[in-house]
Amino acid sequence: MADKKATVQVTGQEAFELPIMSGTAGNDVIDVRTLGSKGVFTYDPGFLATASCQSKITFIDGGKGILLHRGYPIEQLAENSNYLELCFLLLHGELPSAEELAVFENTITNHTLVHEKIATFFQGFVIEAHPMAMLCGVVGAMSSFYHDDLDITDPEQRKRSAYRLVAKLPTIAAMAYKYSIGQPFVYPRNDLSYSENFLNMMFSVPAEDYVVNPVLADAMDKIFMLHADHEQNASTSTVRLAGSSGANPYACIAAGIASLWGPAHGGANEACLTMLEKIGSVDRIPEFVAKAKDKADPFRLMGFGHRVYKNFDPRAKVMRQTCHDVLKALHIEDPLLDVAMELERIALEDPYFVEKKLYPNVDFYSGIILKAMGIPTSMFTVIFAMSRTIGWISHWDEMLGEEGQKIGRPRQLYTGAPQRDYVTADKR
């Protein structure tokens, strides 16, 4: 089709055209980069209708509940792949050959150790410190170990820091957990898979052998996969913006961790479980649904709704099945699952939620699985952050690999005081 255009008519001005760009799938975009020269800006707080970049990594169709990673549907990846293979796919763009995967797994395994000095960083935290506060601080501090050997314009050096982050985040996350419960840190083991290694660092103690339950290792790997990447969400956009100034990748990932922590974003899994525990029983669900619908009440159903998905989050469907599998395998009858299932049923029938297209999202079931695995609520968003590190660093790498990459610098609609002269204190 001939180049598409958008015509803009600003009152009192000549109409002008803006080019429209089309991608492989999804909405076309109007290229507004020259709009400033016409004396106007676009206005889109919350970025409801703004494409901040071009990307080849992940595609979401919110209306159809579709999530593709480099073109592959999340359902097929969850069924047939594993987290490290997905990491390779997200970062490099193609599924690895058997040899490429073996080399990648070996490289990641051999980067899981952290500098011994990092263990001392934790001593600065009070014992009650939230593990997300520790993760954010320690990952940011990793910059102090690697800031001088990183030329971010060199793809090979960017790849090395990406591998380091994917490898070391589980070690640091497990250290945050061990510190919070007063147990000794557990070193990574090269004979374990990525998910087995994380569970071993979380739950083993020097006093006895620990054997990783394969059901839990598989569930952990699924949870890692389902949280790996999700297009230009708040934390990924944070990492891109931080990275656009040339900041050290460890500092950028720390910024992503900070953004993810909010209850409207990655903190929702922790908030969702807390909400289910507060509801407590099926008969109290109507009371909380009413609160969620009450405009005067700030309460929202955690784990429901999504900026993009106006249909079921495809990750929630996989997570729901994993939830049932884990509870069955562990012979756990968790009343919170009954509350969650009944809440899902009621919400999906309630006109308020139907009209507003509020469906369970990725955070709705993950908390129940993590709780069943013996992981404390305060670690839920830490696990989300660990999983999402590959998404963050893949977007960071993609952005820095672009020709003509620019620093991100949005403009504003100024509504403050017009220019005025200074008034000395005696005249105020």
Interface positions with ligand SDX (CB under 6 A) = 230, 233, 264-266, 268, 292, 300-308, 356, 358, 361-363
Structure tokens at 296: 């005067």
Structure tokens at 416: 């403050």
Minimum CB–partner distance for residue 233 and ligand SDX (Å) = 3
Q: What are all long-range contacts of 76-80, with beta carbons under 8 Å and residues at least 24 apart?
A: 77/225, 78/222, 78/225, 78/226, 78/318
The neighbouring-strand residues paired with 20 are 30
| Residue whose CB is less far from ligand SDX, 194 or 380 | 380
In 3D, which of 59, 61, 90, 71 has the Cα closest to residue 232?
59
| Residue whose CB is less far from ligand SDX, 140 or 314 | 314
Minimum CB–partner distance for residue 190 and ligand SDX (Å) = 31
Instruction: Look up residue 10 and give its amino acid.
Output: V
| Residue whose CB is less far from ligand SDX, 344 or 363 | 363
The neighbouring-strand residues paired with 345 are none
Minimum CB–partner distance for residue 404 and ligand SDX (Å) = 27
Pairing relationship of beta strands 5-8 and 16-21 according to DSSP bridges: antiparallel
| Residue whose CB is less far from ligand SDX, 108 or 268 | 268
Q: How far apart are CA 357 and CA 355, in angstroms?
A: 5
Minimum CB–partner distance for residue 385 and ligand SDX (Å) = 11
* Residue carrying the six token digits 């990275």: 243
* Residue carrying the six token digits 């507060």: 278
| Residue whose CB is less far from ligand SDX, 111 or 265 | 265
3-state secondary structure of 304: strand
The neighbouring-strand residues paired with 72 are 69
| Residue whose CB is less far from ligand SDX, 300 or 324 | 300
Residue nearest to ligand SDX (CB): 305
Minimum CB–partner distance for residue 47 and ligand SDX (Å) = 10
In 3D, which of 146, 166, 81, 103 has the Cα closest to residue 396?
166
Q: Which of 218, 363, 395, 397 is catalytic?
A: 363
Is 69 part of the annotated catalytic residue set? no
Minimum CB–partner distance for residue 300 and ligand SDX (Å) = 4
Q: How far apart are CA 233 and CA 228, in angstroms?
A: 12
Minimum CB–partner distance for residue 335 and ligand SDX (Å) = 21
| Residue whose CB is less far from ligand SDX, 118 or 239 | 239
Q: How far apart are CA 153 and CA 140, in angstroms?
A: 20
Q: Which of 306, 313, 395, 397 is catalytic?
A: 306
Structure tokens at 31: 């290229």
Give buried/exposed letters for 199-212 (b at 16+ CB in 10 A, else e).
Answer: bbbbbbeeeeeeeb
Distances (CA, A) of 199 to 172, 343, 346: 13, 30, 35
Q: How far apart are CA 171 and CA 145, in angstroms?
A: 16
Distances (CA, A) of 197 to 106, 112, 192, 319: 13, 10, 5, 22
For residue 48, the number of C-alpha atoms closer than 13 Å in the C-beta half-sphere is: 3
| Residue whose CB is less far from ligand SDX, 118 or 289 | 289
Is 306 part of the annotated catalytic residue set? yes
Minimum CB–partner distance for residue 366 and ligand SDX (Å) = 10
95 CA to centre of own chain: 22
Q: Which residues are annotated as catalytic?
A: 306, 363
